[in-house]
Amino acid sequence: MAYLSITALFILTALAEIFGCYLVYMWWQHNGSVWLLGPAALSLAAFAWLLTLHPAASGRIYAAYAGVYLVTALAWLGLVDGQNLKVSDWLGGGLALLGALIIASGWE
């Protein structure tokens, strides 16, 4: 059960990071309203705060988080950006998750 709650926290953390960066991207690259920067800042602050809630040393957290972030970013690519995922995306995402699980299995 602990892995499930940690994974949910990782996904929430990744969504906060991706959403905040996406809003800045929409403002900068697509001439979005400057008002996008307020929610972007809040989302990125939430991302930083969520990282503090993880149960291991920061280096291990960031390493394992990277795998979950990668898969969440690929899901964003498909669901928000409307891109079809390629076999290489699925394979890379699976390997990243496997790496995250291996790192997380060493937490005490």
**For every one of its 108 residues, what pLDDT tens digit does the chain have, with 9 covering 90 and above?**
577 788 899 999 999 999 999 999 999 999 999 999 999 999 999 999 998 888 776 778 888 889 999 999 999 999 999 999 999 999 999 999 999 889 888 776
pLDDT of res. 99 = 93
Domains of the chain: which residue ranges? 2-105
Q: Are 69 and 14 in contact (CB under 8 A)?
A: yes
What does the block give as tokens for 85?
């995922």
24 Cα distance to chain centroid = 16
CA distances from 12 to 35, 72, 73 (A): 23, 9, 12
Q: Which residue reads 């939430």 in tokens?
A: 46
pLDDT of res. 63 = 87
